[in-house]
Amino acid sequence: MCFLLRRALGSVFVPLVLFVSGVVYGCLVASSIMSQRLPAELLGVEVEIVATIVELPNRDERRLRFIVELESIRPLESEPVPATYSLSRTGRIRLSWYGSNAPDLKAGEKVRLVVKLKTPSGFMNPGGFDIEKWFARNKIIATGYVREKSFDVSESVIDRNSAPLSAARNMLQRKLLQASDSYQSSGVILALAVGDRSGITQERWQSFISTGTNHLLAISGLHISLVAGAFGLLAQLLWRYVGLTDRSTRKGCSLLVALGAAFCYAAMAGFSVPTLRALMMFMVLVGLLLVRRHQRRTQSLAIALIAVCIVDPLSVLSPGFWMSFAAVAVLFLVFSNAQSQSRMALLARVLRGHLLITIGLYPLTVLFFGQASLVSPLANLLITPLVGVLVTPLVFIASLLVFVNNSLASDVLLVVDYLLRFAFKVLEIFSDLPFAMIRPGGFSAVALALAAVMALILLVPVSRGVRALSLILMLPVVLPTQADDLDNGDYRVMFLDVGQGTSVVVRTADHILIYDTGDQFSSSFSAANAVLIPYLRSKSIHSIDTLIVSHTDRDHSGGADEILDELKVEVLMQSAKLPQRPDTPFRECVAGDTWVWDNVKFAILHPQENVAGSPNDRSCVLLIEAPGGRTLLPGDIESSSENRLLATGELKPVSVLLTPHHGSATSSGEAFVSALNPEYVVHSAGYRNRFDFPRPEVVERYRSIGATQFTTAHSGAVEIEVTRDGVVASEYRVTARRWWHRF
């Protein structure tokens, strides 16, 4: 009995110790990364850094963006920090060089720059991408921008070849760009060769997402295994040709060649997170085969998973980590006992496995990305073999040839271009289908768990009837859910965190209003696409009753086109006649306009018809009134418009106030603040913005009347619910806080 008890305790104790050790190890790595972040004394002041550019720079119409590995940092003598305060530490910094005259910096160069830095920060909103997790995952300890006027630009580069691998990737990128410059698929070629996706247009990228084939553009396990397999097969044929007859020796040499090809391909991608994970998994497989150690598939997968977690414990923060291992696990389930089957049966199992991978990964896809493609199985069945078996090996071969014969490499890439253009046409057909993409927002954890159970039932050997019935478990995820649970007379206001801009979503029991859409940062990135649309999808909101664009400033109107393209908008209201859309009813925002939704009254207080003034002073001012309280959204009005509103006598105490003009010193006058006497005040402003909004004197003005204040830069999205029972506010940066977040 004692012996059995010891055996039982031992079988539990060892896994428990290993699990706890892994958790402690991960916490130590995370703590080490967070401790590398810069001290407060070096943030927001001009500092001189010496660093090496370690990633391929990315240029758009506004700036040059690049990532450097820090070597040393010291404040300038003119800054209020001791000049002797200097640091020599490791860590990555993401920098932006604004303006069209940014120099042509290259990966691998060591530079000396004068910069202003801040803690890695991003938008914090429900449904949005958590970029602060991405920063932590990629060991980025600060972000900032170059202070070009503070130094001689010509002296910024102090070493042209400080990081040979990065320099080689930069040279390869430029040679490939030269060899494929006139080809339509040049951007995709660079993505498959060096992991640079900056050349892929937004429309083409969206077609890959809509068809569930965007994984083909990231150098990961699929690409590395195909390249390694192709070179391993060629090595097998070569060894036979040279007379290497011993089968085991031939197999071992071929495995080493395949491993070398996988290592080279991962190096071409700069050993990025997905490629490093895939390389680790492949190395474990090759190692087990070389030592001729027979392992069950599950044991091999477990060894690979442990190896990846030891080398990079923070990989568990990456969706790709879970998707990769889950996909391999699905394949193991599908192909168990497949060796003894006929070729036709094996082909049928391959097709079934392809379908089941999509279904099996559906819960994870919805969990991580909030959307899934219904045409993904068919699109991948047609495109994955084309890209995997033909395109990827040819791109790899061309990447080697550009250093030997650029003309021959260009010919190989021409073949690749023809193949990819055919793939583009197929993907466009699939992505244009009305049911191509579903976005089941608003699902619960229980619904997702039921979907996971369904996926498991489809994978394990059970009867067809049970599999058919299991599809019912997917309904809670697929079927649309109610957007809100408010009673008549109640409303909810969400002040989204869009940086230095404004975007507010107002919900009543059955209606949705959007007030402003945030900034348009570049041709491919806007607050609407990054924040507003993901938030609406997460709440299962697919149509908007009224979209109000308060005025023409880009930080309020920049994302309007994206909203109108993506969602059905019943009415568009604008205070100035911005370009109208023929497919959207338009109504000019003029004082006196009122309407009622679900016993909640909406009233436009400003501007008066034909009133003169700057775009800021012509902002559309919206008052929301219900039994539980009043909310005022004043746009960017300044003191002159505040005085006009005071003169009308319509400014009465409110429960919630969005500060005019982000809390600037030209707004929120004492009479305005006193007349409104808000209970809650929200400042929509960017983190460490250059205007220092909200201004300290404005903050003090609201503090003196006892208002509770929130700033989206520090609180993230602020949600305030106004009901008959009272007003309740919550901060998303507090409720969704994780260890990698700024605070």
Domain of residue 83, CATH code? 2.40.50
pLDDT the model gives residue 418: 92
Cα gap 363→477, rounded to integer Å = 9
* Strands, E assignment, 382-454: 437-438
To the nearest 10 degrees (0 to 180), the angle between helices 343-360 and 319-334 is: 150
How remote is the C-alpha of 284 from its chain's centroid? 30
Residue among 547, 344, 538 at smallest CA distance from 443: 538
Cα gap 397→392, rounded to integer Å = 9
Tell me whether strands 92-98 and 110-118 are parallel, antiparallel or unpaired: unpaired
Domain of residue 656, CATH code? 3.60.15.10
Q: In this predicted model, what pLDDT tens digit does every residue of 385-407 receive, in sequence order?
A: 888 788 888 998 898 898 888 88
Q: In this predicted model, what pLDDT tens digit does every residue of 601-627 receive, in sequence order?
A: 999 998 887 666 778 888 999 999 999
Classify 51 as helix, strand or coil.
Answer: strand
The domain boundary residue, chosen from 162, 195, 212: 162
Does 326 reside within a domain? no
Q: In the structure, what pLDDT confidence band is assigned to residue 345 with cuts at 50, 70 and 90?
A: low
pLDDT the model gives residue 337: 55
The domain boundary residue, chosen from 146, 162, 178: 162
Q: In this predicted model, what pLDDT tens digit does every residue of 506-528 receive, in sequence order?
A: 999 999 999 999 998 877 788 99
Classify 43 as helix, strand or coil.
Answer: coil
Cα gap 736→734, rounded to integer Å = 6
pLDDT the model gives residue 415: 92
* Strands, E assignment, 328-458: 372-373, 437-438
Classify 546 as helix, strand or coil.
Answer: strand
Does 476 reside within a domain? no
Does 447 reside within a domain? no
User: Is-contact 200 187, C-beta < 8 A?
Assistant: yes
Cα gap 551→611, rounded to integer Å = 13
Does 424 reside within a domain? no
Residue among 714, 706, 716 at smallest CA distance from 680: 706
Domain that holds residue 562: 491-735
Does 498 reside within a domain? yes
Residue among 169, 190, 167, 170 at smallest CA distance from 179: 190
Cα gap 294→256, rounded to integer Å = 18
pLDDT the model gives residue 621: 94
| Residue 241, φ and ψ in degrees, nearest 5 | -65, -40
Structural domain count of the chain: 2
Does 602 reside within a domain? yes
Q: In this predicted model, what pLDDT tens digit does every residue of 245-271 receive, in sequence order?
A: 566 666 777 788 888 888 888 888 888
The domain boundary residue, chosen from 111, 139, 162: 162
- Which of the two residues, 360 and 679, has the higher pLDDT score? 679
Q: In this predicted model, what pLDDT tens digit does every residue of 535-546 receive, in sequence order?
A: 998 888 888 999
Range with the lowest mean pLDDT among 4-13, 299-308, 732-741? Answer: 4-13
Tell me whether strands 680-683 and 708-711 are parallel, antiparallel or unpaired: parallel
Scanning 138-272, the segments in alpha helix (DSSP H) are 164-179, 186-194, 202-210, 221-241, 247-268
Q: Is the pLDDT of residue 690 over 70?
A: yes
Region 10-24: mean pLDDT is 76
How remote is the C-alpha of 163 from its chain's centroid? 28
Does 31 reside within a domain? no
Cα angle value 142/146/148 (rounded, 5°): 165
| Residue 733, φ and ψ in degrees, nearest 5 | -70, -20
Classify 416 as helix, strand or coil.
Answer: helix
- Which of the two residues, 443 and 159, has the higher pLDDT score? 159
User: Is-contact 483 507, C-beta < 8 A?
Assistant: yes
Region 435-455: mean pLDDT is 72
pLDDT the model gives residue 627: 93
Range with the lowest mean pLDDT among 164-178, 432-446, 594-608? Answer: 432-446
Scanning 432-507, the segments in alpha helix (DSSP H) are 445-459, 464-470, 475-478
- Which of the two residues, 521 and 349, has the higher pLDDT score? 521
Residue listed under structure tokens 């580069």? 157
Residue listed under structure tokens 């991405």? 134
Does 620 reside within a domain? yes
653 upstream amide cis, omega within 30 of 0: no
- Mean of the per-residue pLDDT values of the chain: 83
Inter-CA distances, 474 with 331, 371, 450, 616, Å = 21, 14, 7, 49
Residue among 573, 677, 569 at smallest CA distance from 620: 573
Cα gap 682→503, rounded to integer Å = 12
